Amino acid sequence: MHNILIVDDDASMVRLYTNIFKIEGFNVISASSGKEGLEKLEEFTPNIILLDLMMPNMSGFDFLENLRKIEKTRNVPVIVLTNLATDDTQIEIQKHNVAKFLIKSDYMPKEIIEEVKGVLGIRETDPTPQAG
């Protein structure tokens, strides 16, 4: 079973993505802020992180910087999932080690699952999942 951490300050988004991945059989842990996300990381290491960008106090980018400083989470793949699609964001994202940069509203639940599986290296036809 894959562990997934969802970091998003919007409760409706957290509930949506939690449901999507629970149905798909993931072990989902969620955090409503970057700070909470980092705290959660102390007790468990996810296989992948879904990260929002626009969050109070600690933005997604700040979270990423902190994440990469911690030894055990340094190489955890991160999918940035946001509705903030500005040029500045696109430029900033290049500076960070991010697996994917997706616009929330452009992806249906199924497509999000495919993206996550793609990053984790899980193929639909392959019954034995490979850890990313």
Partner 1 sequence: MYRVILFVSAIALILLGLFYSLLPGAIEPMIDRYIFSFVTFLLFFTLMASKTAREYSYYLFYIASLYIVGHSAFITVINASRIEYLMSYACAYLFFATMIKSVKHLVIYTIIINLLYFSLSFGLFTKGTDQNMYSLGFIFIIMIGSILWLKAKIEKDRLVNSKVEIRTKELLEEQIKLKAAIGAVNGIFVIIDPKGNVILSNNKYAEVLGINYEPRTIQELQQIFGGSYDVSGAFNVSLNQVRIIDHSSVEFKDKYLRVLFSPVYESQSVMGILILIGDVTEEELLDRARDEFFAIASHELRTPLTAIQGNLALVLEYMDSEKLDKQMILEMLQDAMSSSQRLIRLVHDFLDLSRLEQGRVKFEEQHVDLVALSEKILTEYSQAITAKGLTYSIQNKASLTRVYADEDRVKQVIVNLVSNALKYTEKGSINIYIQPKGENVELIVSDTGIGIPDENQKFLFRKFQQAGRNVLTRDTSQGTGLGLYISRLIIRAMGGDVYLVSSQVGKGSAFAFSLPAKE
Smallest distance, partner 1 to C-beta of residue 59, A: 4
Q: Which residue lies nearer to partner 1 by CB, 41 or 52?
A: 52
When binding is defined by CB under 8 A, the residue of 74, 95, 110, 123 that contacts partner 1 is 110
When binding is defined by CB under 8 A, the residue of 43, 57, 75, 124 that contacts partner 1 is 57
Distance in angstroms (rounded) separating the CA atoms of residues 117 and 29: 17
Apex 49 CA angle, 86 and 12, nearest 5: 70
Q: Which residue lies nearer to partner 1 by CB, 45 or 90?
A: 90
Distances (CA, A) of 111 to 71, 118, 127: 31, 10, 19
**Binding residues vs partner 1 (CB under 8 A):** 9-13, 15-16, 19-20, 23, 53-62, 82-86, 103-105, 108-110
